[in-house]
Each structure stands twice: as C-alpha cells, then as structure tokens.
Amino acid sequence: MNPMIFTPELKKRADQISANYPVQRAAALPVMRLIQETYGAISGEAELEIAEYFQIPPADVRELMTFYTLFYSKPKGKCHIQVCRTLSCNLLGAQKLIKYLEEKLKIKVGETTSDGQFSLDQVECLGACEIAPMAQVNKDYLGPLTKEKLDQILSLNYAGKIQV
C-alpha cells in the first residue's frame, strides 16, 4: 500500500509517540488521536493504514473506533455537543436536553447540521457528575445545563470557552 494518510511528517510523529511505549501497538490510541486531529476524522482508508502501521488486523482498529466515542469516521461540526447520558446526568434531565437539541438543530443524535455548524452526540459518563446534567462542547465541559443555557451555547455559535 502506498500510504496517503501517514505522510513522512505524520509517520515521524507517530514513531515518536510509539517510542514512549514498550510495545508499539500500545500507542494505537494516541496515534489515532493524532490522525483524527490532523484530518478531522479517521476514514476507512486511515483505519487500514493505522492497522498496517501497527501490524495489527484492521478489525482491531475497527474495534477501537467503535468502542471509544472520541473517534469518528466523518468530521464533526464546528460546534460538537456531546451530552452525557449516564445515571447522574440522566436523572437530572439529560434525555430532555437531548430531545430539545434535536428539535432545535433539526438533527438526530449522531448527525451534523447541513451547514456543518453543529454535531450532536450522546456519550457515557465524562467524569463530571458534579455538574450534571452536562455536556462536552468541543473541548470544554459545561454544566449544569438547562434549555436556556443550551440556547446560549447555540446562539454564540460556540467556538471557544464560555461560562454557563
């Protein structure tokens, strides 16, 4: 295979990451993060190249892709909203917030708006139960959330850190 994803620069960075681990394949997650941050997502082609780089079956990479919600096959919107649906957040109304977002954005969980501005996902506990119900919006943890606070996030066309 002629690598399209692992450019010489990316391969060098992947090698540097792998050198920190006693077994090369243990670096699969950070290298996958590197690929995703570089390309915005991990395509099917990228999965194959990752498997080849680590000399593991492509099914192993697919398993990591499906197990960890932080990896995705298609780029997410500019504002990526990941609402926690686990116990604390659920008891405090996460499902209502998800439904509200679906109605406001006119998309379902797992989808991106046609203008590429917003993506909506639901995820398991993000370890921030003290601010339940909460969501990760891009890299920030925001909560406790209400419909009003979600409106604020949506109207700001979220692109950076805000306080809610």
Q: Footprint of ligand FES on this chain (CB under 6 A)?
A: 84, 86-89, 125-129, 132, 134
Nearer to ligand FES, 77 or 143 (CB): 143
Q: How far apart are the first and last CA of the chain?
A: 48
Nearer to ligand FES, 46 or 142 (CB): 142
Nearer to ligand FES, 51 or 125 (CB): 125
Q: How far is the CB of 83 from ligand FES (least distance, A)?
A: 9
The b-or-e profile of 116-135 (16+ CB within 10 A means b, else e) is: eebbbbbeeebebbebbbbb
Strand-pairing partners, residue 141, are 136
Q: How far is the CB of 121 from ligand FES (least distance, A)?
A: 14
Q: How far is the CB of 33 from ligand FES (least distance, A)?
A: 21
Amino acid at 73: S
DSSP code of residue 129: G
